[in-house]
Amino acid sequence: MYLPCICPFQIFGFFSAAAYLCLILFQTPTTMRIIFIIYYLLITLLFVSCQESSSVEVEREKIASLLQKGDSCRQVGNEENSIAFYYRSLELAKQTGEQSLEAAASDRLGIVYLYRELYYDALDLFRQSASIYALTGENIRLALALRNIGRTNLVLHHSDSIACYYEQAIEVASRLEDKKLLHTISKELEAIYSKAGFYDYSPRLMLKCLDSVSDDDFSNLLAGEYYIGMNNAEEARIWLKKAVQTSDMYICSSAYQLLYEIEKRTNHPDTAVKYAEYYIQCKDSLDKQISVSSTIRALGQNYEKERLKWENQQLQNEQLRKRMYYLIILSISCCLLVVGLVLYYREKWKKEKVLAGVMKRLRDNERQIENYTAVIEKNRRIISDLKGTQQKNALLLHEEKNKSINYENLQHENLLLMKQLHILHSDREGLLQQLQMGTNSSISSQRITAFTQLWLLKSEPYYGIIETQEEWNRLFELIDLFYGNISARLNGCELLREHDRRICYLLHAGLDNSALGILFNIDNTSVTKSKQRIKKKLGLGPNDVLETFLNENKK
């Protein structure tokens, strides 16, 4: 069981704030209450944040501890427990999102699966760890993971994948400053090719190995095997004699065995027997080493069991210490709470005593307040009467304002009516003069028709009053006669159409947009657009008024 690592200062602040909260709410002013509540919230937030950060660190330590336990179990040959530890660390790393630890757990679990002949499971784990190392940029671990994938394909007899992944591992290892890993991977692939008989690939890889690390015993052994395959006994002897000058009994025994086979093949029995004796001595030494290693392994297992027991005991002791620490903090908080309550009741008793004297003064003040209340009520009645009078005056002022506004509106309407009456009188006198003139000069019936049409246009316009172009021409003459001649100005603009001329003459005669819409059977929007087009043709600006331009020659 892993408990979160909490700072003692935060725990103390949290419990002390909780202990004094009741005291603060009862006996401090509002401002102080707000300040202490904010302090309490800040302490709580700090506590939560520290708990979250510490929980992440604890999870990392737990994963690392599980990996160490798995490594210890694997070293002593306890593969079942190592798989359990590695699997728990892998699941925990996936939950916490720790990619590097997830890759490490996958890599180690894959190695155990590889030795337990679970090849496809190991292959999936190695690929997973390689993809994570490629993302994190850890070249050393990436090269080892690719090397492990190549080993797994080797036991699965996937020859194409062996070369592919080993070449990738060599390429990644070649980027490192330390060439030891490049040498190790290169000589592994050299051994694979040499044992399999792919001698065409062997020199290139051997050169990589020899260029990276010189005077290496295993490289000498591989060189000897290479020259044996090429039937070059002299060169093979030279390299194998270099290989036997090592303390590694595995390399030494293999080199003596190969020398024995060379001497036997070249008919040198004495030398062959000597190398056979050396081979037997190395083999006996290996057997002794194996027996010693088995004894050491047994001792290691016992040591690991005792170490695990000791670690469990340490964890239990640590948990007990933490519990005692929490109990101490809880007891200190309870003591602070009791002290706070005692101080609270003491202050309460003092305030009750002061409150009794205050209540006595309050009763005296209440009697004075009653006397003042009677005076205030009397003043309120006077004020209410004044307010009523003020409201009546306001209503009268409002009515007076409305009457003045109505009077001004009536005056304005009267002026408009007088102007309209004057215009009608002017039109009537003009018509009478024209009629008198027509009587003396025998006005034709067409002129009377034009007068009638103009009167209808001014009074009650409707669609179809004027039908022919001849009637329009006589109406134009009549409007030029009554309202001023505009024919010369309109004829000067060649862009005006007949419809535009009609609109100009009717506007000159005083017709508005609604009358024009009724006469031409169109809406007011169309009339406005027609007027804008006429203004452009006459060269007027957008702010100029067409009626003002036409009325400049009005009589």
Judge contact between 503 and 530, C-beta under 8 A: yes
- Which is more confident, 188 or 334? 334
Long-range contacts (CB closer than 8 Å, 24 or more residues apart) made by 184-187: 185/143, 185/147, 186/212, 187/216, 187/218, 187/219, 187/222
- Mean of pLDDT values over 348-368: 89
- Do 105 and 191 sit in the same domain of this protein? yes
Q: Are residues 262 and 330 in the same domain?
A: yes
Q: CATH no. for residue 532?
A: 1.10.10
Q: Helices 469-483 and 498-508, interaxial angle, to 10°?
A: 40
42 and 178 co-located in one domain: yes
pLDDT at residue 413, rounded to an integer: 63
pLDDT range class, residue 29, cuts 50, 70, 90: low
pLDDT for 8 equals 46
For residue 546, being part of any structural domain is answered with yes
Residue 55: its pLDDT value, please? 67
For residue 332, is it within any domain? yes
Residue 415 tokens, joined:
């002026």
The pair of three-digit structure tokens given for residue 278, joined into one six-digit string: 């050396």
Last residue of a domain, one of 341, 365, 396: 396
Mean pLDDT value across residues 438-458: 68
Please tell me whether residues 132 and 274 are part of one structural domain: no
Q: How far apart are CA 191 and CA 396, in angstroms?
A: 119
Which pLDDT score is estimated for 5?
A: 43
Rounded mean pLDDT, 306-318: 81
Tell me, yes or no, whether 190 and 276 share the same domain. no
pLDDT, mean of residues 212-232: 68
The pLDDT, as a whole number, for residue 374 is: 87
**385 and 491 both lie in a single domain:** no
- Counted domains in the chain: 3
68-77, 138-147, 302-311, 487-496, range with the lowest pLDDT: 302-311
Residue 279 in tokens = 């081979």
- 226 belongs to a structural domain: no
> Is 102:132 a contact under the CB 8 Å cutoff?
yes
109 and 187 housed in the same domain? yes
Same domain, 194 and 272: no
Residues recorded for the chain: 555
Give the range among 171-180, 343-352, 425-434, 458-467 with minimum mean pLDDT.
Answer: 425-434
Confidence class of residue 545 from pLDDT cuts 50, 70 and 90?
Answer: confident
Buried (b) or exposed (e) across 534-552, using 16+ Cβ within 10 A?
bbeebebeeeeebeebbbe
Residues 192 and 267 in one domain: no
Confidence check: pLDDT of 210 > 70: no
CB-based contact 184:144 (threshold 8 Å) = no
Structure tokens at 127: 């690929």
Residues 383 and 527 in one domain: no
Q: Do 172 and 296 fall into the same domain? A: no
What percent of the chain is predicted at pLDDT more than 70?
76
CB 19 within 8 A of CB 336: yes
Average pLDDT, the chain: 77
Q: What is the pLDDT of residue 440?
A: 44
Least confident of 35-39, 373-377, 514-518: 35-39
Residue 206 pLDDT: 39
Distances (CA, A) of 367 to 82, 361, 375, 379, 532: 91, 10, 13, 19, 85
Residue 6 domain flag = no
**Does residue 423 belong to any structural domain of this protein?**
no
Q: Which residue has the tokens 């100029």?
A: 544
Residue 491, in any domain of the structure: yes
Domain boundary (361, 396, 431) is at 396
Please compute the mean of the pLDDT values over residues 316-341 and round it to a whole number: 85
- Rounded distance, CA 280 to CA 36, Å? 86
Contacts of 167 (CB under 8 A, 6+ apart): 189
Q: Tell me: the pLDDT tens digits for 140-161?
A: 888 888 888 888 888 888 877 8
Contacts of 424 (CB under 8 A, 6+ apart): none
Q: What per-residue confidence (pLDDT) applies to 432?
A: 62
Query: How far from chain centre, in Å, is Cα 82?
Result: 41
Model pTM above 0.85: no
Residue that is last in its domain, among 396, 419, 437: 396
Domain that residue 260 falls in:
253-396
Q: How far apart are CA 505 and CA 325, in angstroms?
A: 108
Instruction: Please choose, from the candidates 429, 504, 444, the residue with its C-alpha nearest in 3D space to the C-alpha of residue 472.
Output: 504
Q: How far apart are CA 401 and CA 113, in angstroms?
A: 103
Q: Which residues make Cβ contacts (< 8 Å) with residue 7, sequence separation at least 6?
A: 50
CATH at 86: 1.25.40.10
- Give the mean pLDDT of 73-95: 85
State phi, psi for 107 to the nearest 5 degrees.
-65, -45
- Within a domain: 2: no
The SS3 call for residue 138 is coil
Shared-domain flag, residues 270 and 375: yes
Residue 414 lies in a domain: no
More confident residue, 11 or 412: 412
pLDDT tens-digit map of 341-356:
888 888 888 888 899 8
